[in-house]
Amino acid sequence: MIPKVMLRKLYKKGSLKQDENEITFILQNEIYPATIVGLDPIKINEQDFDIDKIKVLINDDVVVNLAEVTKENPFKLTKGDTFTFRIEGNIDPGKHKIDFSFLTKEAGKIAFDVEEEF
């Protein structure tokens, strides 16, 4: 099991933004390579954002629709890669708690949360 304190280092502080009907933030994998085979909805302040409303831009290049991630169609987290999450939705300015929960091939279920303000 990977300690939550280590997983929280994936989140790039100061990256949370709200644009026109889109929430964005960045994860940067400086820990280990991993293979994501499933995801739970991302929660922001206990509000679920379904994975069918989330896209990830990898290294400002490749777009992955998280609803398409399965064991048969995994999502690779390579060490050093930057992942910009783009979520359809809105949040108000202020302090926010973001909850993540992923199912990985290597470590099973991993979950962590971060707090961010914008």
pLDDT tens column, 72-101: 999 888 999 999 999 999 999 999 999 999
User: Which fold does the domain 4-117 belong to in CATH?
Assistant: Immunoglobulin-like (2.60.40)
Q: For 22-37, give the DSSP string.
A: EEEEEEE--S--EEEE
Cα–Cα dist 21/35, whole Å: 29
Query: pLDDT-based confidence at 1, cuts 50/70/90?
Result: confident
Mean pLDDT of 25-33: 94
pLDDT of residue 105: 95
Task: Identify the residue whose tokens are 């831009």.
Answer: 57
Tokens of 51: 């994975």
What residue ranges do the domains of the chain occupy?
4-117
pTM, 2 dp: 0.92
Which has the higher per-residue pLDDT, 32 or 114?
114
Mean pLDDT of 37-46: 95
Mean pLDDT of 57-66: 91
The phi-psi region of residue 66 (left if phi > 0; otherwise alpha if psi is between -120 and 50; otherwise beta) is alpha
pLDDT tens column, 3-24: 899 999 999 999 999 999 999 9
Cα–Cα dist 90/61, whole Å: 24
b/e per residue 24-44 (b: at least 16 CB within 10 A): ebbbbbeeeebbbbbbebbeb
